[in-house]
Amino acid sequence: MLKEGGATQAIFEAILLSGKPGGQTLVGNKTDNESEVGIFFRKSNGKLVQLGSPPEPKAKSKTSVLGGLAGVSPDVVNVYESAEALTSISAMRPEFVINLGPRLGAVDPRTVWIVALDRKKKTREVRISSVGWEATLGVRDKDRRDAVVTRTESGWTVVPKGDLVPGEYLLTLDPYLGRVYEFGIDPPK
């Protein structure tokens, strides 16, 4: 049925290997090869810089007061053990390139998000769940940045709808922050 629908060999490989672990992502690796598999930032000169994955986060429970009431609300945050990403970008509206292959598996464009991280002295974090009047699971809407995700011959491009403010971010390929790639936006010079 997939063949009749026009599925290519790359799609079959992505489906078969989507749950298998891939190779190590190189951080800051410059490439001229538009077809290389990975997640990239496109510089203004057209060159691609490969984004790396942050170290595995540690889940941490926090509590916050519920609107001034006597109860507390436990939040769970992912804590990344470095203060900044290894890849920093000076463009306020960067273009990202997702080149698919067996190592990356399938990507659903509805769950490709840019997520802002809360920067601390030595760490970065993002809230991933909260229990209060209502239980919420996943990244808060206020931490997500709207983006335009466009299909290309080899994968997808992702461009924020508006300028990103200087700070730390994740480009995530799934809503549960399982496949994430880190970058920072530098202040304008």
Section 49-67 average pLDDT: 78
For residue 109, which phi and psi values (nearest 5 degrees)? -60, -20
Using a pLDDT cut of 70, give the percent of the chain over it.
70
Closest CA to 97 of 141, 163, 31: 31
Section 165-179 average pLDDT: 88
What pLDDT, on the 0 to 100 scale, is given for residue 104?
63
Section 38-59 average pLDDT: 90
